[in-house]
Amino acid sequence: MFRETPQDSYFFTQTEHNILKALCAYMVGTSNDAELDISVITIDAFVQQLSKPLRTRIRFGLHLFQWGPPLFIRKLRLFTQLDPRDAVRYIEGWARSRRRIRRQLFRGLRDIAFLGYYSDRQK
């Protein structure tokens, strides 16, 4: 099966790259495309070093986050298609969820977003 990736050596597909980019934009509060692309490339390099089961969980979590708005905020859109107000409400719903698994996924995605963004600021 062909997987469209930003470059052949990357772990994330172009779709996953776009999800991460949108997530990073909300988590770190920036809309600079160049900074976000660099952040996602940094995240990609980090994720490639993880064990296969953990990489699989991260990939699954990204797609769950992308497809969750109809279920969690009753919007018939993907996360990357939400308007900013709904996106913030959706992210906050994950952060404050009564379900531990949702809070854990939120924290994991938030942590890799910060890792990607702020590790580039150290250089």
pLDDT tens for 82-94 read 999 999 999 999 9
**Which is nearest to 35 in space by CA: 51, 24, 49, 50?**
24
- Kindly report the number of other CB atoms within 10 A of residue 104's CB atom: 13
Which residues, 6+ apart, have CB-to-CB distance to 14 below 8 Å? Answer: 4, 5, 6
pLDDT tens for 19-58 read 999 999 999 988 888 888 999 999 999 999 999 999 999 9
Question: Whole-model pTM?
Answer: 0.87
